Amino acid sequence: MSSAQSPVSLRQQLARRKPIADLQAEAARGVNGEPLRRSLGVWQLTMISVGATLGTGILVVLGTAVPLAGPAVWISFVLAGVAALLSALSYAEMAGAVPTSGSSYSYTYATMGEGIAWVCGWCLVLEYAVSVAAVAVGASEYVDETLRVFGLHLPAAVSAPPGDGGVVNLPAAVLVLLATVILLPGVRESAWVNTLMVIVKIALLVFFVVVAFTAFRAGNFEPLAPMGAAGVTAAASRLFFSYIGFDAASTAGEEAKDPRRDLPRAIIGSIALITALYILVAVAAIGARTWTSFSDSEASLVRIVVEVTGQPWVALVFSIGAVIAIASVVLTVLYGQTRILLTMARDGLVPKVFGRVSHRTGTPVANTLIVSLVVTVVAALVPLGELADATSIGTLVAFALVNVSVIVLRRTQPGLERSYRVPLFPVVPVLGTLCCVLLAVFLGAGTWIAFGVWMVVGAALYLLWGRRHSTLR
């Protein structure tokens, strides 16, 4: 029997790397002979990145992070932002060198082998799907604030999951389904819708900052860190999931007109803008309201605006804008999840139904419908805090692996074409990896247990399906 026909051991298969040339060739021909359509320029890519990020931590999770960090929550945003920026630089280099839709999954497949790629891909499934659900859950608070202007109120039974005293979070489920409807016609159409929503959310946050600073009180920042450094770091760990926007941009590698040039620009530019806005809004919010009053609502910003202005109609305008902003996050992150699964299906690691591209729309329709159905159920039934922490740990593992991928690829293929190179190599990717590990350590024990269970399920799926259907096998 020839060596090509001899059985491959599990260890050998886990270590097999996928050549970058093969990744690009498969992207060009698609799974069923229908590749994704290249229609996105640097502006649309940047808007995807900003759309998937800006608003999540401020509009949804700020109210749950402030009780952990106190007035120092803005420092938590700085810590999470620095960690994200370090990883973003590594993402920018890998996006320019491996311009496919698989994001960090494809990067690890090309550098560290199928086993690590599966781990990364499985973390991305956790990161994206749960992130969409987490953001959608937070939207119900703003829907309720909108109704209060008219003297109405959402019953707990249809506005909260079972763990929070309700039966089903109906607004969250509806928001995911609406995002699905926008995604199905095609990426170009959904990209323009997302761009309009991003403009609305930036205007909304600028409006909040202007209003909040009229009521700014420096005394609200004392004591700065009542829970100490541990509280600040714990809040940073929770807020880190707010920085996955540039990761969503990297999943558009096969739909970008010039991915080698445009993806690094979109990733770095968006993360700088997002971090600056997050810090500015956090400082304005604490300056306008004592930190102890943030524990009662996830829709904290709209409460601040109404308290400062004394005008109930402002709540209506702000809440509608907030729902639009959150919808933008749901739309773009849901998009990223479908593209990750599409690439994994192309490699045979998940069923091929996730890789089928419609001849009419040029998008993975079946993939989008399946993912949206699962995410809708999760958003309707699981509380926000658990979702946010689960997203954070999946994100941190994926980001750490991308930082390591940069180091590995520099060593194994130093002559590979790169449209962008990480500065101060290898210091930046090493620091990026260490930051991810540090933030992951401060996540709760329950989150780590859930993550361990998730990885055990992933390992079982790989052994039962992925290993036998892998195209490299």
State pLDDT tens for residues 140-178. Answer: 777 777 777 777 888 878 887 777 777 888 888 888 898
Of the candidates 316, 280, 275, 344, which has an alpha carbon nearest to the alpha carbon of residue 128?
A: 344
pLDDT of res. 34: 66
DSSP 129: H
Query: Has residue 445 been placed in a domain?
Result: yes
At 48, which amino acid appears?
Answer: I
pLDDT of res. 1: 38
Please give the Cα distance from 426 to 405 (Å, whole number).
Answer: 11
Please, what is the Cα angle at 87 between 64 and 330, to 5 degrees?
50
Q: In the structure, what pLDDT confidence band is assigned to residue 402 with cuts at 50, 70 and 90?
A: very high
For residue range 333-351, list pLDDT tens digits in order.
888 888 899 989 989 999 9
For the record, the structure tokens of 329 come out as 């996050």
State yes or no: pLDDT of 439 exceeds 90. Answer: no
Query: Has residue 459 been placed in a domain?
Result: yes
To the question of pTM greater than 0.85 for the whole model, the response is no
- What b/e sequence results for 5-19 when a residue is b if at least 16 CB atoms lie within 10 Å of its CB, and e otherwise? eeeeeeeebbeebbe
Query: Has residue 348 been placed in a domain?
Result: no
Residues 6 or more apart whose Cβ sits within 8 Å of residue 82: 435
State yes or no: pLDDT of 37 exceeds 80. Answer: no
- C-alpha separations of 432 from 71, 200, 446, 471 in Å: 26, 32, 25, 32
Average pLDDT over residues 103-115: 93
Domain containing 135 — which CATH number? 1.20.1740.10
Please give the Cα distance from 339 to 354 (Å, whole number).
Answer: 9
Which residue reads 């709209």 in tokens? 302
Q: In the structure, what pLDDT confidence band is assigned to residue 70 with cuts at 50, 70 and 90?
A: very high
| Structural domains of the chain, count | 1
Look at 1-5, 26-30, 412-416, 440-444 and tell me which has the smallest mean pLDDT.
1-5
Average pLDDT over all residues of the chain: 85
pLDDT of res. 314: 82
* Structural domain of 175: 38-341+370-469
Q: How far is CA 11 from the centre of its chain?
A: 31
Q: In the structure, what pLDDT confidence band is assigned to residue 3 with cuts at 50, 70 and 90?
A: very low
- Number of residues in the chain: 473
Cα atoms found within 13 Å of the Cα of residue 103, Cβ hemisphere only: 34
pLDDT of res. 4: 46
Instruction: Respond yes or no on whether the N-terminal peptide bond of residue 383 is cis (omega within 30° of 0).
Output: no
Query: Has residue 15 been placed in a domain?
Result: no
For the record, the structure tokens of 89 come out as 């630089």
pLDDT of res. 302: 81
Q: In the structure, what pLDDT confidence band is assigned to residue 33 with cuts at 50, 70 and 90?
A: low
Q: Report yes or no: 103 and 262 within 8 Å, Cβ to Cβ.
A: no
Look at 257-261, 299-303, 332-336, 457-461 and tell me which has the smallest mean pLDDT.
299-303
Of the candidates 222, 265, 219, 260, which has an alpha carbon nearest to the alpha carbon of residue 246?
A: 265
Query: Has residue 168 been placed in a domain?
Result: yes
Query: Has residue 258 been placed in a domain?
Result: yes
Please give the Cα distance from 88 to 429 (Å, whole number).
Answer: 10
